[in-house]
Homo-oligomer: A and B are copies of this chain.
Amino acid sequence: MDKSAIKSILENVKDSKLSVDDALLKLRHLPYEDLGFVKIDHHRNLRRGFAEVIYCAGKTPEQVQEIMGALCNLDNNILGTRAEPEVFKAVQKLIPDAEYHQLARTITVQRYKTEPIGNILVACAGTSDLPVAEEAAITAEVMGAKVDRLYDAGVAGIHRLLMNQEKLDAAKVIVVVAGMEGALASVIGGLVDKPVIAVPTSVGYGASFNGLAALLAMLNSCSAGVTVVNIDNGFGAGYAATIINRLGER
């Protein structure tokens, strides 16, 4: 229900075609559909520009299934993050065209496809950072962005990174995923003049304190243009990159 719909309701009120009370009822009850345990906000698609995203961790397979089912009626794209295989199994029963991306632990339902736009580069430091990097990449792809990948480019072997300067040059936005000391964000940030979204990961041990070391390093980056999201938040980085990338295409 978009702005024009609301305006139309109000004009009907003005024109006495609709009583104030009925109008109120419409306005109150239309915007979301109550499933009891979660309110699905069909509005959001219009207001935010993307489909509802389901954060599956902490929800039962049945709850995810029910939510995704309700959303599917609307003929839009859906993204489920942090989804274990058994969650996907439950979803697949209801939505056979749902896809599962094992490494990224994400479910996608893609009811319409558009030509990928722009160019988001997702770079990551080590093999263990791949799940977070893939979550970012798939999020951006399902939301319509063209995504390029540059993996295993840690700062301990800086030459590998420098050899890929053209990938850095081609990107509109760069997502940098790194655990341990998280230095990759600063190094890449120093090589480009474009937005860099840094994702610290919980990869590491001991004084990495589950990603705190990388998080602090990225927040203190001496390279301007670097902004940061939560530890392991591949989705958040992919989403932010998408809306920035889209800006460049308008």
Give A residues with C-beta under 8 Å from B. Answer: 27-28, 31-32, 37-39, 41, 43-44, 47-50, 53, 57-59, 63, 125-128, 130, 151-160, 162-163, 172-173, 180-183, 186-187, 189-191, 193-195, 197, 200, 202-233, 235-237, 239-240, 243-244, 247-248, 250
Contact = CB atoms under 8 A, between A and B. Distances in A.
A195 B244 contact: yes
Given A48-B224, A207-B216, A248-B250, 4 more contacts: A31-B159, A125-B222, A156-B186, A182-B183
Contact of A231 (B47, B152, B186, B206): B206
A229 B216 CA distance: 10
Contacts of A53: 224
A212 B126 CA distance: 24
B205 A232 contact: yes
A202 B190 CA distance: 22
Q: In the complex, which of the residues A49, A163, A217, A228 has the most CB atoms of chain B within 10 Å of its own CB atom?
A: A217
Contact of A127 (B58, B220, B221): B58
Nearest to A221: B181
B39 A160 contact: yes
Contact of A193 (B47, B163, B173, B207): B47
Nearest to A27: B163
Contacts of A47: 191, 193
